[in-house]
C-alpha cells in the first residue's frame, strides 16, 4: 500500500537533532513515500550526520533564510536535485537570549527585529524562494506555539509566533490562486533544541502536565511530525490558512 506522500517532493528546514519535529517530519514523510531534501544553517555537517538516521538518504543544502543570496540559489539547487517541489516545511525559529526568560520589558528592538526576521518573515522568504518550484501547486506547513496566550518565559517569541501565524494567513490568501496551501501546526512543548534555549522552559512545560486532556509526552515529537505530513498530503486539498493543534488538547481548556 502506497503512502500518503507517494511521489511528493518536500523541502524540510530545521533538522538539528533527532529530537526535533523537523527530523520526525522528514522520517514520516519518507516512510509515506516522499523524496526529501533538507536545509541547514549554520552547521550543515551537523544536519548531514542526523540525516543518516533517516530511512533513506537525503541531500542537505546550506540555507540561511535571512540571506538573500542563499534564498536566490534555492531554486536551482532543488530543481537539479528533485526537479520541483510539492511541499515546504518551515521549522525555523530564533530569538536572542535577551528576548527570552522574563526580559520582555527590557529587550532592545535589535533583538526583537532578529526574532521577527528569523521566526516570522522567513516564512514568506522561504515560500517565495520555493514558489517557482511548485508549478502544480503545493503545501507549505510551518510550526507555531499557540500565540493566543502570553506564556511564561517565552517573551518576544510570543509576538514572533503571532507574526508567523498572521504571515501564514496572508500567504494563504495570496497564493490560493496558484493552488498553494499554507497552514501551521501548533505543537505542545517538546524537549527540542529550541526548547533548551528558553530559560525556565520547565515552568512552561508544567502547564501541560496539569491541563492536557490527552497525556502529553515532551520527549515524543512524532505526533507533531505526523500532523505536518498530513497537511503536506492531498488529504487536505481545500484547507489553507489553518492552524492545527497537536498539543494534547491544552488549547481548548479554560481555567
* Contact by Cβ (8 Å): 12, 39: yes
Closest CA to 168 of 156, 183, 154: 183
Identify which of 123, 121, 111, 93 has the alpha carbon closest to the alpha carbon of residue 196: 93
Q: Is 180 helix (H, G, I), strand (E, B) or coil?
A: strand
Residue in 90, 91, 87 with CA at minimum distance from that of residue 35: 87
With a CB cutoff of 8 Å and minimum separation 6, the contacts of 205 are 189, 218
Cα dihedral value 236, 9, 163, 187, nearest 10: 70
Task: With residue 88 as reference, give the H or E element that holds it.
Answer: strand 87-90
Query: CB-based contacts of 32: which residues, under 8 Å, 6+ apart?
Result: 3, 4, 5, 6, 229, 233
Count the residues in the chain.
255
Question: In the numeric block, which cell numbers belong to residue 210?
Answer: 496539569
Catalytic machinery residues: 154, 161
CB 224 within 8 A of CB 189: no
Amino acid at each position: 500500500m502506497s503512502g500518503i506522500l507517494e511521489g511528493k517532493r518536500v523541502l524540510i528546514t530545521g533538522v538539528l537533532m533527532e529530537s526535533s519535529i523537523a527530523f520526525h517530519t522528514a522520517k514520516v514523510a519518507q516512510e509515506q513515500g516522499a523524496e526529501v531534501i533538507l536545509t541547514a544553517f549554520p552547521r550543515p555537517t551537523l544536519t548531514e550526520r542526523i540525516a543518516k538516521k533517516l530511512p533513506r538518504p537525503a541531500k542537505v543544502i546550506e540555507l540561511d533564510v535571512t540571506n538573500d543570496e542563499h534564498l536566490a540559489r534555492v531554486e536551482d539547487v532543488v530543481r537539479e536535485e528533485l526537479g520541483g517541489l510539492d511541499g515546504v516545511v518551515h521549522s525555523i525559529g530564533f530569538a536572542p537570549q535577551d528576548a527570552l526568560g522574563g526580559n520582555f520589558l527590557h529587550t532592545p528592538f535589535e533583538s526583537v527585529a532578529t526574532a521577527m526576521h528569523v521566526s516570522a518573515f522567513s516564512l514568506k522568504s522561504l515560500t517565495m524562494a520555493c514558489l517557482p518550484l511548485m508549478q502544480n501547486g503545493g503545501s507549505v506547513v510551518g510550526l507555531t506555539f499557540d500565540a493566543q496566550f502570553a506564556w511564561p518565559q517565552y517573551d518576544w517569541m510570543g509576538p514572533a509566533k503571532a507574526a508567523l501565524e498572521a504571515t501564514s494567513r496572508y500567504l494563504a490568501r495570496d497564493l490560493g490562486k496558484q493552488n498553494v496551501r499554507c497552514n501551521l501546526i501548533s505543537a505542545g512543548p517538546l524537549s527540542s533544541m529550541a526548547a533548551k534555549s528558553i530559560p525556565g522552559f520547565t515552568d512552561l512545560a508544567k502547564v501541560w502536565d496539569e491541563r492536557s486532556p490527552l497525556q502529553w509526552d515532551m520527549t515524543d515529537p512524532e505526533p507533531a511530525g505526523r500532523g505536518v505530513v498530513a497537511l503536506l498530503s492531498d488529504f487536505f486539498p481545500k484547507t489553507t490558512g489553518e492552524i492545527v493543534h497537536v498539543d494534547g488538547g491544552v488549547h481548548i481548556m479554560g481555567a
